[in-house]
Amino acid sequence: MSKLASKKIFELSLLILAAGSIYPLVYLRQNFEKTILTLFDISQAELASLYATLGIIFIVGYIPSGWLADRFSVKLLVIFSLLTTAATGIFYAQIPDSAFLLPIFLVWGFATVFTFWSAILKSVNLLADESEEGRYFGALDGGRGLVEAVLASLAIGIFSWVAGAGAHSFADTKAGFQAVVYMYCGAIILIAVALFFLMPNRKEQLARAAASVTAPVEESKQSVFSAFAQILKIREVWVMMLIIFCGYTLFWAHYYFSGYLNVNHGVGQVGAGVVTVIVLWMRPIGGFGGGFLADKYGRSRILSISMFVTAALLVTLALLPGGAPLGLIYVLIVAAGLLVYVIRGVYWSVLDETRVPPAVVGIAIGVISFFGYLPDLIIPWISNAIYNGFGDDVAGANDVFFIVSAGIGVIGALAAMYFSLLVKRRKTQDTLTAPASDPTAPAEESEPA
């Protein structure tokens, strides 16, 4: 392995640690929901309202995050996000009055999207060569999942050690929860310090990117509106939005696996929990493995195949009768979980193939994220409509939800196939037009189609 490759892998590892550590603190409800409700004396509806507000902030923040990533050092943006999240977490650990929870979540929403989201994706985009995009973005998602799993395991262990075994008093619960929050904050701060001292600003890459674009692109860098216009003229960008929207919809389906096992096949909570934990551990396998396959066989091809197969698995789960063998059901669910993580790990890697000018990559990430992650708002609405329509027949609602998700997944698979066709056509056109304009010019120096 060359010195340059080792250095890039080290930098990628730092980015993975940043992405894997910042969100678990915000989403502590995943493992400590009951504890949070008790300590802050709030209802589940109030907690849900806080996270709904967080979701709205995310959607609103994607596009501004892209604007920030194009105008400020992505390294400093990531460090600022980590330190702000950790500082807010330290205040959160004091268990303030519940009236402070909304401001806390507002700050977290700002720090984890406005100043972080596009900055982290642009950092990986700048770091990876064209032949490495699949592996690097796959490693980002898979590595992030691995970091989250390790930190969650540490958190559970720390809480049990500090709070003690069995029933916990309020004081023990508070002490255990505070120790968990401090652990997350400490990890985030250490990663921010490591990024500050060990990761370069990548100014050279940005300078080369600016030098490689034409005058119109430089104008677009100065004007947000012209940047939007330029980005939205690229057909591949629209197709990528659709791919991420559909892929993220398939990912949403995995949140319903536990309820499906409980209701449709009578699996107990412990059994369903074991299966869903196994699905969570598929994230690093799907991310890393999907990234390598994408670089070897084609990103669009791997996306299309993964979406088609995931859709088929969801339909199969929906059509299985109640007495179907549980072993088969478990295998189908774990396979579907693995594939949705392949999809998540690969779909951002096609950004390089859209030929978005380097000067406006950040804004492009924001725009694509805004549309691509709309399932965060749309899927709960679709889900509520389905489950309200079926009333007490929850099993039937589960089946219909899987089928609807599968249908959207098929659209995404077709979009990935179309994206591949667009890229091939453009490359062919570049190869044919370059010699005509300058017989001595190599094909790769031709103007983008």
168 pLDDT higher than 80: no
Q: What is the mean pLDDT of residues 11-16?
A: 94
Q: Average pLDDT over the chain, rounded to whole?
A: 86
Place 318 in a pLDDT band, splitting at 50, 70 and 90.
very high
Residue 116 lies in a domain: yes
Do 75 and 129 share a domain, yes or no? yes
Do 164 and 299 share a domain, yes or no? no
Predicted local distance difference test score (pLDDT) of residue 428: 83
Residue 217 lies in a domain: no
Q: What is the mean pLDDT of residues 139-147?
A: 91
Cα distances from 113 to residues 53, 187, 261, 274, 325, in angstroms, run 13, 19, 34, 31, 43
Predicted local distance difference test score (pLDDT) of residue 435: 55
Identify the domain containing residue 369 by its residue range. Answer: 227-431
180 pLDDT higher than 70: yes
105 pLDDT higher than 90: yes
Place 260 in a pLDDT band, splitting at 50, 70 and 90.
very high
Between 218 and 231, where is the model more confident? 231
443 pLDDT higher than 60: no
Cα–Cα distance, 343 to 304 (Å, whole number): 9
Q: Tell me the chain's radius of gyration from C-alpha atoms.
A: 23
Do 420 and 339 share a domain, yes or no? yes
Residue 219 lies in a domain: no
Do 106 and 19 share a domain, yes or no? yes
What is the CATH classification number for the domain harbouring 383?
A: 1.20.1250.20
Encode pLDDT of 268-283 as tens digits.
867 887 888 788 889 8
Which of 183, 198, 213 corresponds to the end of one domain?
198
Number of domains the chain is built from: 2
224 pLDDT higher than 50: yes
Angle of helix 282-297 relative to helix 299-319, nearest 10 degrees?
130
Do 148 and 246 share a domain, yes or no? no
Residue 445 lies in a domain: no
Do 191 and 232 share a domain, yes or no? no
Which of 179, 198, 217 corresponds to the end of one domain?
198
Do 287 and 146 share a domain, yes or no? no
Predicted local distance difference test score (pLDDT) of residue 434: 61
Do 283 and 413 share a domain, yes or no? yes
Do 193 and 314 share a domain, yes or no? no
Q: What is the mean pLDDT of residues 135-151?
A: 90
pTM of the model: 0.80
Cβ proximity of 50 and 207 under 8 Å: no
Encode pLDDT of 30-42 as tens digits.
778 788 989 999 9
Residue 246 lies in a domain: yes
Residue 379 lies in a domain: yes
Residue 125 lies in a domain: yes
Predicted local distance difference test score (pLDDT) of residue 447: 34
Q: How far is CA 216 from the centre of its chain?
A: 32
Angle of helix 235-253 relative to helix 361-372, nearest 10 degrees?
40
Predicted local distance difference test score (pLDDT) of residue 220: 40
Q: What is the mean pLDDT of residues 380-391?
A: 88
Do 185 and 253 share a domain, yes or no? no
Residue 210 lies in a domain: no
Do 233 and 189 share a domain, yes or no? no
Predicted local distance difference test score (pLDDT) of residue 445: 33
53 pLDDT higher than 80: yes
Predicted local distance difference test score (pLDDT) of residue 166: 63
Do 286 and 406 share a domain, yes or no? yes
Cβ proximity of 287 and 140 under 8 Å: yes
